[in-house]
Structure 1
Amino acid sequence: MLGPVEIRRLAAELDVRPTKKLGQNFVHDPNTVRRIVELARVDPAEHVLEVGPGLGSLTLGLLASGARVSAVEIDPVLAGRLPVTVAEHAPEAAARLTVLTRDALKLRAGELPAPPDILVANLPYNVAVPVVLHLLAELPSLRRGLVMVQAEVADRMAAGPGSRVYGVPSVKLSWYGVARKVAAVPRSVFWPVPNVDSALVSFERAEPVSAADRDLVFSLIDKAFSQRRKTLRAALASWAGSAEESAALLRAAGIDPGARGEQLGVRAFAQIAESIGMRPSV
């Protein structure tokens, strides 16, 4: 694995200047990498999807488990160097690595060599939730995941109804399964040192909560949280056509029109969608 000296040497060799735009904070602590691989429960028979491998420290840890790894890296310089780094440090594992120079938000299932089983990644803070939601929607083979994100993002991803930080990311992620915050990650394991705390979030895919149309459910969630202080009756009024129609739809779904979005779990939003069906006027 790559320690602090190797990380800096590689960055200097590639003339890489970590950018905030791409969320480039590279893990340089081998013990942290080992812990991530352990908590992710990576099995040698699995195909791991890694997003944002950077200079390759976590990639080497994942390959050391015996698993196949498909690494998706948006930076062409880093993507081009990753196979060389693996060949230098773990030549026996080089054949189990596939590198794709892609924006993970645009990744399609057909671009991968095989359906991945697990997502393990150090995700840029500004796109962490969109990336996870996109990959879960695009890759139904993903059974679980372990992602390192900003601590505040981790709290939102794992929050339940009624929590102060419960919001759109919490509800949409729960459509796919169960997320929980499993560990804090100290700032000192990164280079450069970020000015925010990080945490690990695990995810286990579950059976769909409903047969309702996902896009419809997600549209309801967006509307309900667009004005958090409003009741659902008011928040969904423009979407439903009027406050009266909104209240009627909510009552038909067994939901109190006076409730607020942060009080509802994903199943309640699915109930609203089920009561609406696929009305063209919606």
Structure 2
Amino acid sequence: MSENGTARLLGPADVRVLADRLGLSPTKKLGQNFVHDANTVRKIVKVAGVDGDDVVLEVGPGLGSLTLALLPVADRVHAVEIDPVLAGQLADTVADRAPDLADRLTVTAADALRIGAADLAVPGRPDRAGTAGTALPSVIVANLPYNVAVPVLLHLLAELPGIESGLVMVQAEVADRLAARPGSKEYGAPSAKLAWYADARRAGPVPRAVFWPVPGVDSGLLAFRRHDPPAGADRAATFAVIEAAFAQRRKALRGALAGWAGSPPAAEAALRAAGIDPTARAERLSVADFARVAAARPGAGDR
């Protein structure tokens, strides 16, 4: 367990000074909106419940506002940054503003959509389970780039089974969709896929004014905790059903799944075998329902 240290957090003036020094002009392509409010990053760390046993994965650390708030409370922070200029600066910022905590930080310059466990192992450090030489993440805490937030989160949960929980900042409507339950208007493929891995909930709004530049959309916090997937289910097969069902969400499932099953009668047979009404629509089904439908597809047992 780590001992608390101190860090000087970034304020609005600090963020602008760093950006000017780097010649940085935030890009919409990379979803760059940097948090510059110390109270906001303190709140994120508190709500995330990070403790001294946690190895935190932070995606898109940017100029380091959230990183500096995480280091005093985490055992280690592994920051993944796609922008090579920002990745190169982060260790220097931490060395300047939290010198006694600098050894807790590892920075990887990479696309979070392409990383796996092998990219995040830290030689010589045990992970939370005590496995020597890994120090793999147990928690995700991040201001996710809004244009890729959903695929990044799903990818990380698939690649890093040691992730137990997390708190991510995303676009408010994306948080609504990810936390949605079956039967609600926001429920869709992202909701059902995330439910394979975890229970998710909204954890509060984030004001636009705490970002530079100020985004044109509202932001929100999404908290999640991992759970076991449906027993005996196949993830790829289940996700294929989810995608097919929501691709034509206004149709009854008998029609929406016709292409997936091979014909409307085949779709109806699979649905009835799974105990699902063929006239129901996709938004009524839980991830466990989708898993049963996938298993009931003719030939599913031959995979």
Give the structure 2 partner of residue 104 of structure 1.
Answer: 112
What SS does the aligned partner of 1:126 have? helix
Give the structure 1 partner of residue 215 of structure 2.
Answer: 194
Q: Is it true that 1:27 corresponds to 2:48 in the alignment?
A: no
Which amino acid is 1:163 matched to? S
Contact kept, 8 Å, 1:210 with 1:270, in 2: the verdict is no
What SS does the aligned partner of 2:27 have? coil
Shift of 1:248: 0.6
Distance 2:189 2:150 in 1: 10
Contact kept, 8 Å, 1:46 with 1:118, in 2: the verdict is yes
Which amino acid is 1:249 matched to? A
Distance 1:279 1:31 in 2: 51
Distance 2:74 2:235 in 1: 36
Distance 1:146 1:160 in 2: 18
Within 5 A, what are the aligned runs for 1:238-249? 238-249=259-270
Normalization by structure 2: what TM-score?
0.91
Distance 2:228 2:302 in 1: 30
Which amino acid is 1:253 matched to? A
Flag structure 2 segments of 5+ consecutive residues without an equivalent: 1-8, 123-134
Give the structure 1 partner of residue 292 of structure 2.
Answer: 271
CA distance 1:148–1:278, change in 2 (3 Å): farther
Within 5 A, what are the aligned runs for 1:207-222? 207-222=228-243
CA distance 1:6–1:212, change in 2 (3 Å): same
Distance 2:235 2:273 in 1: 19
Q: Is it true that 1:180 corresponds to 2:201 in the alignment?
A: yes
Which amino acid is 1:134 matched to? H
Q: Deviations over 1:177-205 (max 9, x none)?
A: 10000100000000000010000000000
Distance 2:180 2:74 in 1: 33
Flag structure 1 segments of 5+ consecutive residues without an equivalent: none
Distance 2:136 2:298 in 1: 32
CA distance 1:217–1:66, change in 2 (3 Å): closer
Give the structure 2 partner of residue 166 of structure 1.
Answer: 187
Within 5 A, what are the aligned runs for 1:108-147? 108-112=116-120, 113=122, 114-147=135-168
Distance 1:263 1:137 in 2: 25
Q: Is it true that 1:7 corresponds to 2:15 in the alignment?
A: yes
TM-align CA RMSD: 1.3
Identity across the alignment (%):
61
Shift of 1:125: 0.9
Shift of 1:65: 1.2
Would you say how many aligned residue pairs link Structure 1 and Structure 2? 282
Distance 1:237 1:65 in 2: 51
Judge which range, 47-56 or 207-216, deviates more. Answer: 207-216
Contact kept, 8 Å, 2:164 with 2:226, in 1: the verdict is yes
Contact kept, 8 Å, 1:42 with 1:67, in 2: the verdict is no
Which amino acid is 2:297 matched to? I
Distance 1:222 1:29 in 2: 38
Which amino acid is 1:171 matched to? A
Give the structure 1 partner of residue 247 of structure 2.
Answer: 226
Which of 41, 57, 78 matches 2:49? 41
Which amino acid is 1:138 matched to? E
Which amino acid is 2:48 matched to? A
What SS does the aligned partner of 1:211 have? coil
Shift of 1:277: 7.3
Which amino acid is 1:262 matched to? E
Distance 2:298 2:195 in 1: 21
CA distance 1:277–1:96, change in 2 (3 Å): farther
Q: Deviations over 1:65-106 (max 9, x none)?
A: 143000000000000000000000000010000000000000
Give the structure 1 partner of residue 91 of structure 2.
Answer: 83
Shift of 1:23: 0.6
Distance 1:230 1:82 in 2: 49
Distance 1:234 1:20 in 2: 38
Contact kept, 8 Å, 1:25 with 1:194, in 2: the verdict is yes
What SS does the aligned partner of 1:127 have? helix
Contact kept, 8 Å, 1:50 with 1:72, in 2: the verdict is yes
What SS does the aligned partner of 1:148 have? strand
Distance 1:26 1:209 in 2: 38
Contact kept, 8 Å, 2:59 with 2:81, in 1: the verdict is yes
Give the structure 1 partner of residue 225 of structure 2.
Answer: 204
Distance 2:216 2:300 in 1: 47
